[in-house]
Structure 1
Amino acid sequence: MSMTADAVPDAPAPATPITTTYHPAHPLNLFRTVGVLMRGPRDPTMLVDGVTLWRASRTPEGIATLALRQSGEGIHATAWGPGASWMLEQLPVLCGADDDASGFDVSGHPILADIARRTISSRLTRTDLVFDALVSATIEQKVTSLQAFGAWRVLITRFGERAPGPTPRPMFAPPTIDGWRGIPSWAWHRAGVEPPQSRAIVRAAERGQRIADAVIAAETGADRDRILTSLPGIGAWTAAETRIRALGDPDAVSIGDYHLAHEVGFALTGSRVDDDGMLELLAPWAGHRQRVIRLILAGGPREARRGPRLAPEDHRTR
């Protein structure tokens, strides 16, 4: 796909939408559950417009746009594009239908128990789009969220595909795997993605869909980590983030995160800890450690900021 930096491709020809209503068997807050997938407020693949959540994806059957609206009757879904049927079939797991919290007990920790009570309608979402999750996580390695979200927006808008349907603003589905592989080095640089991250994505794309299929087929988180970290440039943090975003993994822990261990430690003990300390604190909830992290991030006590925010460094002028 080729266009000038400011050009916006025309929307696809109008297509007949298909609709359904999903009736969850569990309490559900749509925005808290699915909204965690949004990569910043200007994400070209997702947006919130009033009471409607829009999502553009590249499914195994082609691109699709999904519009979701929650009411007392359930989740009203409308989808456009070649992948519309796939999107609607996947809607229950997107809304957390496979999120099984059996055995998860935080009743012994008053702070976590209170947050769990207040956020009972938040579920772990699952997209089954492993490669897109891997790409977004790789772009977010070792940079600020502001930098990563900006790079994601530039790359998706320039090399993705215009999403179908009456979206409130132009939206884009991510490139194909071959499309990611074909992005030139200068475009990565212009978007603000450093060579180690762009090389990791291109090398993963050289493995094609089979790497994503292998991750989905793996039976344990350890097996999925082994597959993902076998890719050059993919470490424990990126593997965990991929598992969380694509598979709703309830036990994934993002080791190596700049803030996470500090936040978990402060919420559970009142003091900062390192990654080893975080794993020790989370050990009583083995199998559900991501659930504990979500509770802490949703409403746990936060340490007062001690210094200025990290100033992003722009490498594009080099």
Structure 2
Amino acid sequence: MADQRLDWQPRHPTDLHRTIGSLRRGPGDPSFHLDRDGAVWRATRTPEGVATVRLVQASGGTIRAEAWGPGAGWAVAQAPELMGDADDTSDFDPILDALRDAHRRNPGLRIPRTTLVFEALVPAVLEQKVITLQAHESWRRLLLRFGEVAPGPTARPMRVPPPPATWAVVPVWEWHRAGVDPRRAQTVATAARFAERIDEAARMSRADAVARLTHFPGVGEWTAAEVAQRAFGDADALSIGDYHLSNQVGHALVGRDLTDDEMLEVLEPWRGHRYRVVRLLGASGLPRRPRRGARMPFVDHTWH
């Protein structure tokens, strides 16, 4: 039996998997699991302690959140917000037929809001300037090495991300073994020492929150946007500077590669919902940029 449970009917169409899937850091993420019956398990560190949350959606749309651990009460109380309860699409105009169709086919795609800023910051930093698979492997290794065993009857062994105090003192050789270069390692360690101030950003305006995040060395516009998409539920947070994004958006909307500046111009009609447009494009099946030439290379940081 769960320590805490909450059942609720979302006030707007909500698709559990499409909404919360953006929080998963690869198929091997030790803090996230999708089991065979469609339930989503998520291990997290709440302001009240560690918790494991199990989310399942009934055929009528009702969602059940069950949680275990010291942070179970906080986790189930926050579950509707996690599932995009505050995500408002009432002023979103798809404009283009292709986007209108994607929006119609995916009415339950919401922007989640965890409110856990530092928790979202660490994997975002790990994803800087490396291929996604490499970053996901670093996250997996570090959680298995330093994460806490997730409470509850998890469908498979899971780990809660380490507390800031642990991230701050991860030995140099452990970063190396996880394939993380000294610059990213130092960014995480520095941010960990100010985790409380970083978590305050969840209660700030968007501008102030971004300013708070980018105040820290190694946290730029791209990283702040990746955090805002998950911790703040920001439907407009655009990952400017992403290795692939501008070209993917360009081919989906105008049929060619775009620079970041051109992408911003193309997406201007959807200001306020630009990240939503990106998510819808990903779910739409619209044309993607053809693969030409080499992918971004795997970078071996273990020699540092």
Is TM (by shorter chain) over 0.5?
A: yes
> How far apart are residue 125 of structure 1 and its match?
0.5
The reply to whether residue 312 of structure 1 matches residue 298 of structure 2 is yes
Q: Are 1:177 and 1:209, in contact at CA under 8 Å, matched by a contact in 2?
A: no
1: distance between equivalents of 2:216 and 2:303? 29
How far, CA to CA, are the matches of 1:62 and 1:19 in structure 2? 17
Q: For residue 317 of structure 1, report the CA deviation from its aligned partner.
A: 3.8
The residue aligned with 2:118 is: 131
Distance 1:258 1:128 in 2: 27
Quick one: which of 243, 255, 259 aligns to 2:240? 255
Q: 2: distance between equivalents of 1:230 and 1:166? A: 40
Correspondence for 2:215 = 230
Is structure 2 residue 84 aligned with structure 1 residue 96? yes
Contact 1:59 1:129 in 2 (8 A): yes
Report what 1:179 is aligned to.
166
The TM-score, its normalising length taken from structure 1, stands at 0.92
Which of these residues, 19, 27, 33, is aligned with residue 5 of structure 2? 19
Query: Which residues in structure 2 correspond to 1:35-54 (within 5 Å)?
Result: 35-50=21-36, 51-54=38-41
Question: In structure 1, how many angstroms separate the alpha carbons of the residues matched to 2:170 and 2:8?
Answer: 38
Judge conservation of contact 1:45–1:172 (CA < 8 Å) in 2.
Answer: yes
When normalised by structure 2's length, the TM-score is: 0.96
**In terms of mean alpha carbon deviation, does 292-301 or 262-271 score higher?**
292-301
Percent identity of the aligned residues? 50
Counterpart of 1:162 in structure 2 is: 149
Paired residue for 1:189? 176
Structure 2: runs of 5+ lacking an equivalent: none
Q: Is the 8 A contact 1:30 1:70 kept in 2?
A: yes
C-alpha separation in 1, matches of 2:91 and 2:106: 17
Distance in 2 between residues matched to 1:144 and 1:35, nearest whole Å: 19
| SS of corresponding position for 1:67 | strand
Q: CA-to-partner distance for each residue in 1:164-189, whole Å, 9 max, x for gaps?
A: 11112110111111111011111111
* Pairwise CA distance, 1:208: 2.9
1:208 to 171, 176, 195: 195
Task: Provide the C-alpha distance between the structure 1 equivalents of 2:16 and 2:58, rounded to a whole number of angstroms.
Answer: 10
Partner of 2:265: 280
Q: Contact 1:46 / 1:53 at 8 angstroms: preserved in 2?
A: yes
Structure 2: how far apart are the matches of 1:22 and 1:314? 46
Contact 2:236 2:273 in 1 (8 A): yes
Structure 1: gaps (5+ residues): 1-14
Paired with 2:56 and 2:216, the residues of 1 have a C-alpha distance of 38
Please tell me whether the aligned partners of residues 176 and 303 of structure 2 are also in contact (alpha carbons under 8 angstroms).
no
2:64 counterpart residue number: 76
Deviation by residue 1:27-86 (Cα, 9 ceiling, x = unmatched) = 111011011100000100001011211000000000000111111351122110000000
Match of 1:57, SS state, is: strand
Q: CA RMSD of the aligned region, Å?
A: 1.3
Map of 1:7 onto structure 2: none
Q: Counterpart of 1:101 in structure 2: which amino acid?
A: T
Helix, strand or coil at the partner of 1:63: strand
- Once the two structures are TM-superposed, the CA of residue 137 in structure 1 deviates from its matched residue by 0.2
Counterpart for residue 9 of structure 1? none
For 2:245 and 2:3, locate their aligned partners in 1 and report how far apart those are by CA, in whole Å: 41
Deviation at 1:288, TM superposition (A): 1.2
Partner of 2:73: 85
